[in-house]
Amino acid sequence: MSAIRIGAMLVVALVLCAALAPWIGRLDPEDCRLAAELAGPSRLHWLGADADGCDIYSRIIHGSRISLWVGVTVVSVSALIGTAVGLPSGWYGGRPDRALMFVLECFQAFPGILLAIAITALSPTRSVGLVIVALCVSGWVSYARLVRAKTLELREAEFVTAARAIGMGPVRIMLRQILPNVVPLLVIQATFGMAGAILAEAGLSFLGLGAPPGVPSWGSMLNDGREYMLVAPHLSVWPGVAIMLTVLGFNFLGDGLRDRMDPRTRTSRR
Amino acid sequence: MREVLLRRILLLVPLLWVVSTAVFALLHLIPGDPVDFMVGENATLDRKAELTAAYGLDRPLFLDVEALGEPGPIGGRFARAVTDTQYAGFYRALFTGELRSLHTRRSVWDTLGDRFPETLRLAGCALLVSILLAVPLGTLAAWRRGSWVDQASMAGALVGVSMPNFWLGPLLILVFAVELGWLPVSGSTAPGAIVLPAVTLGLGMSAILTRITRASVLETLHADYVRTARAKGVSEVGALFRHALRAALLPVITIVGLQFGALLTGSIITEEIFGWPGIGREVIQAIRSRDFPMVQGCVLLIATTYVAVNTVTDVAYTLADPRVRLDDR
């Protein structure tokens, strides 16, 4: 089976989990019974229960909503900002373009996760929205770079010269001629971006800087499970499996898409 | 060429200036009173006053407008207006080592001087692990292209990239430290203590390196000079090791450099999991205990290292391959 197919299957499974969570989640993830504390797998709790007696299976199913929500918002906002900045910068060049390049350099001086840690840690409250903002702050940079570089390259292309010759305005050329050629690259980058954002959210929640307590985020579940590693390893195993399969799905999909759209970078079969 | 390199290196100056200004501004971006943030609203007034004085938080941020209005020559007034501010005080504290931890009162640079080598040691070992794993595996995969070795190592590489280190770490602890008892759970002093964190940190990178190695070796295996070597009667193994592999490793080395920054970032979470006394755990602890000067020092050091590594890689890349144009990326 090809990478693209495995990836698509995993991603579809994630979307289905998120969409159907109230029906396939079985138990309410917020309704926890202390009596079930650290219970192993049973007919009621398929994957066991955590330290507060919450059902792990339903928390994982509901957690897919958080991951998907963070991934989709971070990627779309970042891609939008990156395109809005990168397109005119690459097209017009000159001083504004140099200024943008310097701004990008400054943002890239901070490793993305460090910036996100700093932003979330400084806030007095924890929320998923803050995580999204924190990840967008460093996220848009790579999209801006990508769009700018491609625009710079396409600016000299013959079809752009032709469009200019027939009197097309710069804005229309950017949107009608250049943007459609950038979109495939954006889609690939966004697919990997989904994996990155989901991983980053889980990492922040793992550090206790992401989702507030009680919200079923996979990263928080891993964090909660650390204390009980010795007595109840199932607390840590399943959320980790969920994160890995999700990230793997997007990575496979991105890989497959890249191979299909740009045969030159093909790694699977040369 | 020389001009491009020079410009890249000179760029470091404004870059570090912006970075340090951002680190200074961090404290003032927090909603509410910075002193309350650091010691809590319920701290004694004495403690608050002490902190306010220590950080000059009662001084103007960037420019002392009052000093500008005082009598005297304009140059002197201006100098006073600029130097007697929080911003200037921040740089003074940075360069004189007077930036001190809120809790231990120890100079931040002294603490970081202890922590940073530990992080470098961990990152270095992780690098070693990933190279030792990736180069043989990637070469084998390319040599036996399409075989089960190839497919397994490529699938394994994708799994490796997708494996979060904050999950892999605890799993490794569970298996090798708790169940088998071969290696210590955490810390850095016991023999073998570095193995688990280094593997945790290195595995993700080895996944990337395996793919690069495979692609690179595949390319050189089909190069003309390797075919010539084969035609001259060099054995398959000889062609692989003496001719193909040697040329193939150059891009691999570049990726190692490019990924070293990622390795530093990854060490933040890995150190936290294994209780490794490096700069990553320090920054997390400082954030948790709201030790703001410590956070500033850590962030500044990590960002500076990151920028330095990226610049060195860029420069090395340009020197190795003159076709690369730095200014156009």
Residue A43 DSSP code: S
State the Cα–Cα distance between residues B83 and B97, nearest whole angstrom: 18
State the Cα–Cα distance between residues A22 and A16, nearest whole angstrom: 11
Question: CB neighbours (10 Å) of residue B327?
Answer: 10
Return the half-sphere exposure (C-beta side, CA atoms, 13 A cut-off) of residue A21.
19
Query: Which one, of B220, B242, B209, B218, lies nearest residue B131 by Cα?
Result: B209
> What percentage of residues in chain A have a pLDDT greater than 70?
88
Q: What is the pLDDT of residues B115-142, one digit of tens each?
A: 899 898 899 899 999 989 888 888 888 8
Shortest distance between the Cα of B229 and any Cα of chain A, in A, equals: 22
- In chain A, residues with a C-beta closer than 8 Å to the C-beta of B146 are 269
Q: What is the distance in angstroms between the CA of the first residue and the CA of the last residue of chain A?
A: 17
Q: Which residue of B has its CA nearest to A108?
A: B307
Q: Tell me the pTM.
A: 0.85
The yes-or-no verdict on residue A114 having pLDDT over 70 is: yes
pLDDT given at position B94: 81
Continuous H helices in chain A: 3-19, 21-24, 56-92, 94-109, 112-122, 128-154, 158-165, 170-172, 179-206, 218-226, 234-261
**How many A/B residue pairs have CB atoms within 8 Å?**
121
Contact B162 A145 (CB under 8 A): no
Q: Which of residues 129-158 of A touch B (CB under 8 A)?
A: 145, 149, 152
Asked if A218 is an interface residue toward chain B (Cβ–Cβ < 8 A), one would say no
Structural contact between residues B97 and B113, judged by C-beta atoms closer than 8 angstroms: no
Shortest distance between the Cα of B75 and any Cα of chain A, in A, equals: 31
Q: Which residue of B has its CA nearest to A104?
A: B15
The yes-or-no verdict on residue A263 having pLDDT over 80 is: no
Shortest distance between the Cα of A199 and any Cα of chain B, in A, equals: 7
- In chain A, residues with a C-beta closer than 8 Å to the C-beta of B37 are 122
Minimal Cβ distance to A226: which of B15, B170, B268: B170
Contact A3 B158 (CB under 8 A): yes
State the Cα–Cα distance between residues A146 and A143, nearest whole angstrom: 5
Contact B164 A199 (CB under 8 A): yes
Asked if A202 is an interface residue toward chain B (Cβ–Cβ < 8 A), one would say yes
Contact A111 B167 (CB under 8 A): no
Asked if A93 is an interface residue toward chain B (Cβ–Cβ < 8 A), one would say no
Shortest distance between the Cα of A227 and any Cα of chain B, in A, equals: 11
Query: How confident is residue A256, by pLDDT bands cut at 50, 70 and 90?
Result: confident
Shortest distance between the Cα of B6 and any Cα of chain A, in A, equals: 16
Spell out the residues 6+ positions from residue B185 whose beta carbon is closer than 8 angstroms to its own: B173, B177, B178
Contact B167 A240 (CB under 8 A): yes
Structural contact between residues A131 and A201, judged by C-beta atoms closer than 8 angstroms: yes
pLDDT given at position B320: 65
- In chain B, residues with a C-beta closer than 8 Å to the C-beta of A233 are 174
Q: Which residue of A has its CA nearest to B301?
A: A110
Structural contact between residues B159 and B187, judged by C-beta atoms closer than 8 angstroms: no
Q: Hey, what are B255's tokens? A: 């990726």
Shortest distance between the Cα of A126 and any Cα of chain B, in A, equals: 13
Contact A251 B161 (CB under 8 A): yes
Contact B329 A236 (CB under 8 A): no
Q: Which residue of A has its CA nearest to B165?
A: A203
Shortest distance between the Cα of B309 and any Cα of chain A, in A, equals: 10
Q: What is the pLDDT of residues A71-89, one digit of tens each?
A: 999 999 999 999 999 999 9
Backbone angles phi, psi at A32, to 5 degrees: -110, 140
Which amino acid makes up residue A107? F
Asked if A14 is an interface residue toward chain B (Cβ–Cβ < 8 A), one would say no
Contact B299 A114 (CB under 8 A): yes
What averages of pLDDT result for each successive group of 10 residues across chain B (329 residues)?
Answer: 78 86 79 70 74 70 69 71 76 79 80 88 90 87 82 83 86 82 75 84 87 83 77 75 73 77 84 88 84 85 85 74 50
Question: CB neighbours (10 Å) of residue A134?
Answer: 27
The yes-or-no verdict on residue A264 having pLDDT over 60 is: no
The yes-or-no verdict on residue A32 having pLDDT over 60 is: yes
Structural contact between residues A228 and A48, judged by C-beta atoms closer than 8 angstroms: no
pLDDT given at position A76: 96
- In chain B, residues with a C-beta closer than 8 Å to the C-beta of A122 are 26, 29-30, 37
In the block, residue with structure tokens 């397994």? B152
State the Cα–Cα distance between residues B162 and B194, nearest whole angstrom: 23
Contact B306 A110 (CB under 8 A): yes
Which amino acid makes up residue A263? P
DSSP for A205-236, written as a single string: HHTTSSSPTTS--HHHHHHHHHTTTTT-THHH
Contact A122 B18 (CB under 8 A): no
Note whether ipTM > 0.90 here.
Answer: no
State the Cα–Cα distance between residues A111 and B269, nearest whole angstrom: 13
Shortest distance between the Cα of A240 and any Cα of chain B, in A, equals: 6
CATH homologous superfamily, domain B108-328: MetI-like (1.10.3720.10)
Q: Which residue of A has its CA nearest to B210?
A: A267
Asked if A20 is an interface residue toward chain B (Cβ–Cβ < 8 A), one would say no
